[in-house]
Amino acid sequence: MSHTSPHHRREEFEETALEYLNPLFNLALNLTRNRKDAEDLVQETYLRAYRFFDSYRPGTHIKAWLFRILRNTFINRYRAQKARPDEVDFSKVELAYERIVDEQFLQANRPVSPEEALMNGVLDEEIETALARLPEEYRSVVILALVEDLSYKEIAAALSIPLGTVMSRLHRGRKLLQGQLLEYARKKGILSGPVDVSTDDDVAS
């Protein structure tokens, strides 16, 4: 990209990145809880993304790249506003991912895994409640995998964690989510019969 003209670079950026304006704004709004602040955060995110667009590798998931820039921008802003910068509530950042619960949970035109079939039968508020109860280290990975449909590598890039950590947290998080939703689904007659929600940790213990 270093040999492209500024005009072509801007066009390429707009074609590639502006498609994700709405998901970024939703995330920003959940982080800031204020529409004006969310707009400012998205604007700053896109300015930074454009500035560092040369570092983006074509073919990788730009949505994860943009999410990471927005998250880091928010954290930097939040640190600057705190009297004691070391006491940043990073859980607020992760909490935003669990609020991005949309129609992707209810996609019926593709094969679904057991936990997705379970979620398809319950209400959005039940899903949100179940997600909120997950430990934060599992919650963000589950949301990015099941809602945003990111790959393991893309999640690792978005959250800046090793690939192996993504895989283990997603495995554990899925099992925990199944356990949270199982009782509700059975009460409503959505599911019957036993469902294995044990984890490797449970077996090991």
Asked whether residue 44 falls in the same domain as residue 72, the answer is: yes
Residue 59 lies in a domain: yes
The residues, ordered by sequence, that sit 6+ positions from 201 with a Cβ below 8 Å of its Cβ are: 172
Residue 156 lies in a domain: yes
Asked whether residue 103 falls in the same domain as residue 53, the answer is: no
Closest C-alpha among 85, 94, 80 to residue 159: 94
Residue 22's CB is within 10 A of a number of other CB atoms, namely 9
- Please state the pTM of the whole predicted model: 0.48
Question: What H or E segment, with its residue span, contains residue 165?
Answer: helix 163-187
* pLDDT at 44 (0 to 100): 92
The low-confidence residues of the chain, meaning pLDDT below 70, are 1-9, 30, 57-60, 78-128, 147-148, 183-205
CATH number at residue 28: 1.10.1740.10
Closest C-alpha among 99, 104, 120 to residue 191: 120
The domain of 138 spans 89-190
Residue 118 lies in a domain: yes
Asked whether residue 107 falls in the same domain as residue 184, the answer is: yes
What are residue 100's phi and psi, to 5 degrees?
-85, 65
* pLDDT at 166 (0 to 100): 92
How close are the terminal C-alpha atoms of the chain, in Å?
A: 52
Closest C-alpha among 93, 115, 99, 107 to residue 177: 115
